[in-house]
A and B are shown apart, each in its own frame.
Chain A
């Protein structure tokens, strides 16, 4: 599970799994991408996106029609797939060595694997307009100083909190340091309020805590260095686990959180939206999912950045998150990049007005009207550093091990040292 908002259609995708057989992992996908000779002299390219829900579902086709109307010699063959279905299909297609011309990417470890396999176009030289985009939004697609993707959305994780419940516990100011944070958790518990909602079943929401603590204690360079040296056993990482254990020992989560999903009935978002917990550590999509699964907290909902840790090297302005972008197949028609420029630069205000995306173009955050989106966008603009979701930044095997091990730590099954050892082992084996 990647750290993107889980889709409501997951159960549909899952029903496709019922025909499981022992030969499942040997299955290969069909080959339906690649070069198509332009019989009518038109330049044709395939565009795979994940816009199956609003607002992208209507907006993306609008934008592509506008583009082909202005460029009658170009034809775009769009395929829109649900998030998880897209990942499966792309994996199958990738293993056959052929990617679609333009495809959705989240950057990080998966993109790096595709780049290493020589399947992705290096955009660095043709992508002069990247200077118009915020550095934070581009970072996930930059590998070894080269750029391999064009972002259209960017977001970050932080604490969403219920102001009413904080007031009930007598907390006037959101915590700025980890020590204050732990104090506030105790105050909330004393006031009979469940401090934190957590989806223990899905694991990825738990990894946010460990990742942010590692950023705050060991610092961003340490995280990046660990990815290259494949060694996560440094003192900073162990300490991140110890800090997380301090929190877990306070038993801050809702009852039966180990069985709770995120966007499911009674899950993390519902618990938060229904005012049954005071805060959750979640990405920019949190308010809309709370509204879907529970209720709209409205003006009671606030946002504060992950606190700093005393003695740690990380700053409060260093953010953890991810977004969405598009990458090009090696040898894709150059018109495809023109299309992405049209999509991202010229339609940014449309994307923002749809209330489904956050700005990637410098200065565009001023166009936002939604208070919750504004606060996230402002934090992103002011960000002094950026770390992509660990389960996307690292190769999938390492990312999943981070999720699994941190979940074990939260459930009391692993010590902070064991967590760092397991992750290191996975990194060395991957």
Chain B
């Protein structure tokens, strides 16, 4: 038995062999001739065409159209002929509601990372122990993630219903009468309430991610740490947590992108209200695009939303996920 530290590196090889095997030309041609090399590129290109066309038509082209539209004042009807340059953008960054949107996005991101993630980690560690009925618990915690956003939102609208809702009864029973009738209906409580719903819906997903990460940590390392005299906390802090790093970084990434683009839950529960106090960037975009028919302005919002997501993704991948993704796009390929 080789030392357990070598195990992850050893795992890597069969995996690469498998991906290599996906292109049969390589495996049986140790001495590749130029025409064959070209042929393989041609076949790769040929197989990529459908995906590339789809990507071009349904991802790149709409982005280009949105960027183009964002430089016009356009109501969605007739020809786009009122070019306004960056006016939509300057207006956007002077709009208190939009600046508030960004603040609220940040609020949700911070809470996701400081509250939801540790909570998901805690449950994951708990459900990684030998526990009677842990499969049932895992399923229960994961179940909310499977529900559609709209169903979740309708469900919680009923729970937070003023007067008759479960939340009001609960608050009454706990002696928190001050909260009754507020929840989604008060500007000061709507964001925390939304966050509770988000956590209910998504922590199970992060728990599953982390659980998968935990199970990929070889037993031997933890055993070795035990033999060296590490206690439970030390094993968690110095072995589990570092080895869980890649999973945690992915989990943070998904939380951030999810919070930036949050729409459905909020739209159904509060529609951004009361008085914009729960509005997100995506809600503002929808309001302007499909309620006010200011398509140019809405496109500007969508472009900013896209840029924020893009810049964040690139930086995060470049500087935070670099170690986890070696061989992926950002470093230009491993071999």
Contact = CB atoms under 8 A, between A and B. Distances in A.
Interface of A: 1, 11, 14-15, 17-18, 20-27, 88, 91, 94-95, 97, 113-114, 116-117, 119, 200-203, 254-260, 264-266, 395-397, 400-401, 407-408, 411, 413, 430
Contacts of B157: 264-265
A264 B303 CA distance: 34
B181 A256 contact: yes
18 contacts: A20-B261, A23-B62, A24-B285, A25-B289, A26-B62, A26-B69, A95-B76, A113-B75, A114-B77, A254-B162, A255-B162, A255-B163, A259-B183, A259-B274, A266-B165, A397-B294, A407-B273, A411-B274
Contacts of A23: 59, 62-63, 65-66, 302, 306
B65 A259 contact: no
B297 to A, nearest CB: 9
A117 B153 CA distance: 39
Interface of B: 59, 62-63, 65-66, 69, 75-78, 148-150, 154, 157-158, 160-165, 181-187, 190, 261, 263-264, 267-268, 270-271, 273-275, 282, 285-287, 289-295, 298-299, 302-303, 305-306, 309
A257 B161 CA distance: 10
B96 to A, nearest CB: 11
A305 B57 CA distance: 55
Given A259-B274, A400-B292, A17 B302 contact: no
- Residue of A21, A22, A202, A256 with highest tally of chain B CB at under 10 A: A22
Contacts, number: 151
B289 A259 contact: no
Contacts of A413: 275
Contacts of A265: 157-158, 161
A429 B39 CA distance: 58
A94 B76 CA distance: 8
A424 to B, nearest CB: 15
A20 B282 contact: yes
Nearest to A24: B302
B274 A17 contact: no
Nearest to B149: A18
Contacts of A259: 160, 162, 183-186, 190, 270, 273-274
B298 A397 contact: no
A396 B62 contact: no
A297 to B, nearest CB: 19
A369 B291 CA distance: 37
B80 to A, nearest CB: 9
B5 to A, nearest CB: 43
A200 B185 contact: yes
A114 B77 CA distance: 7
A203 B154 CA distance: 19
A17 B267 CA distance: 10
Nearest to B158: A265
Contacts of A407: 273-275
A397 B292 contact: yes
Nearest to A264: B157
Contacts of A17: 263-264, 267, 286
- Residue of B165, B275, B290 with highest tally of chain A CB at under 10 A: B275
B154 to A, nearest CB: 6
Contact of A11 (B59, B268, B292): B268
B74 to A, nearest CB: 9
Contact of B65 (A15, A26, A114): A26
Contact of A266 (B66, B77, B161): B161
B55 to A, nearest CB: 12
B293 A396 contact: yes
Nearest to A88: B290
B264 A400 contact: no
A25 B268 contact: no
A310 to B, nearest CB: 30
